Amino acid sequence: MKFLIDAQLPESLSEFFSEHDIVHTRSLKSGNKTKDKSINILSVNEKRIVITKDTDFYYSYIASKKPYKLVLVKLGNMRIAELKRYFKANTEKIIDVLAENSFIILEPDKIRILD
**Total-model pTM:** 0.95
Specify the pairing of strand 48-52 against strand 69-73: parallel
pLDDT of residue 115: 78
Q: Domain of residue 87: give its range.
A: 2-113
- Is there a contact between 25 and 4 (Cβ–Cβ < 8 Å)? yes
Q: Rounded CA gap, 11 and 25, in Å?
A: 9
The 10s digit of each residue's pLDDT in 36-71 is 999 999 999 999 999 999 999 999 999 999 999 999
Count: domains in the chain: 1
